[in-house]
Amino acid sequence: EDEEEKELRQRFRFMAPPVSGLRELRRRRRELRSRMELLIMETQAEVCRALAELDPGASFAVDSWERKEGGGGISCVLQDGEVFEKAGVNVSVVSGLLSEEAARQMRSRGKSLKAKDGKLPFCAMGVSSVIHPKNPHVPTMHFNYRYFEIEEADGTKQWWFGGGTDLTPTYLNEEDAVHFHKTLKEACDKHDLKLYPKYKKWCDDYFYIKHRGERRGIGGIFFDDMDSPSKEEVFQFVKSCAKAVVPCYIPIVKKHCHDSFTPEEKLWQQLRRGRYVEFNLVYDRGTKFGLLTPGSRIESILMSLPLTARWEYMHTPPESSKEAEILEVLRNPKDWVH
């Protein structure tokens, strides 16, 4: 790499060289695709550094992979630390042709896609992360921000952004819930006051485990297929959301990572993680899309699953216990910021 490239990499302190190569990203730096790739790389590095600071004994395994159909990614995973049982932050930048199955899934979301000889060239990129802490008083957190572009038969390009950040506590702490939601609301409010209430509700509706009648966690924000008012405005909004990840979550980890906990509390965390797995494998669109994309990397897709979890037959917590309290909020989402 030349001097300019080296200087760039040092400035950004990425976890690994970007999939498209820094020189290529510099050359196309005015294009939104390049700016988005730089943003997801920056976000990955920011989050990994913040997590590593809290868990100094552990380190991230950094794994760059290539997809023979086009593109690749960088998976950063920290396992078996003092603070984090498993924390993964993934970047993927892939391109190629959509499989029929993946295209069908998108059409079912109301996308009218005109394929040329059954082929749809696409480009997708995103950063996604799931953090499973050891201590049951530290919540699990997930975020994902992504960009999608499809070229139709007549050459027109359809594009959209999607993403969100949400929190899954084992035990409810109102103060943490308020801090988390407030930080996300501030990021949304910079762009439009209507966004937070809309995306908060979308998040509550999306992370719903239908067969259990409960939400996966206490929500946050979630949006998909966002393609207006303009490419630039949506990109700036996504950037604000990505920049809010560290401030909305890291203070909560700092506050609770040394809390004492009982074996019973650890058991409840394992059961709640079982629910997390159920949602991800049964309902999550990102997981489903990944599993349907030819050449996708299964290890990176299933990185969201915890290291350990439990499924007990007919487990019900005692009434008016701390365990029952969180279930109440998962069944009836609350407004945390008003």
Q: Which residues are tagged catalytic?
A: 142
* Cβ-proximal residues to 237 (8 Å cutoff; 6+ apart), any chain: 188, 191, 192, 195, 226
C-alpha 93/C-alpha 140 separation (Å) is 25
**Coil, strand, or helix at residue 229?**
coil
* Cβ-proximal residues to 262 (8 Å cutoff; 6+ apart), any chain: none
What is the 3 state secondary structure string of 96-121?
EECCHHHHHHHHCCCCCCCCECCECE
Identify the CA nearest to 118 among candidates 99, 135, 133: 99
Residue pair 76/48 in contact by the 8 Å Cβ criterion: yes
**Coil, strand, or helix at residue 210?**
coil
DSSP state of 318: P
* Cβ-proximal residues to 233 (8 Å cutoff; 6+ apart), any chain: 191
**ω into residue 139 within 30 of 0, thus cis?**
no
C-alpha 241/C-alpha 295 separation (Å) is 29
C-alpha 128/C-alpha 143 separation (Å) is 6
In order of 9, 58, 148, 196, 272, the CA distances from 89 in angstroms are 19, 15, 19, 24, 21
C-alpha 129/C-alpha 144 separation (Å) is 6
Q: Is 237 left (phi over 0), alpha (psi -120 to 50) or beta?
A: alpha
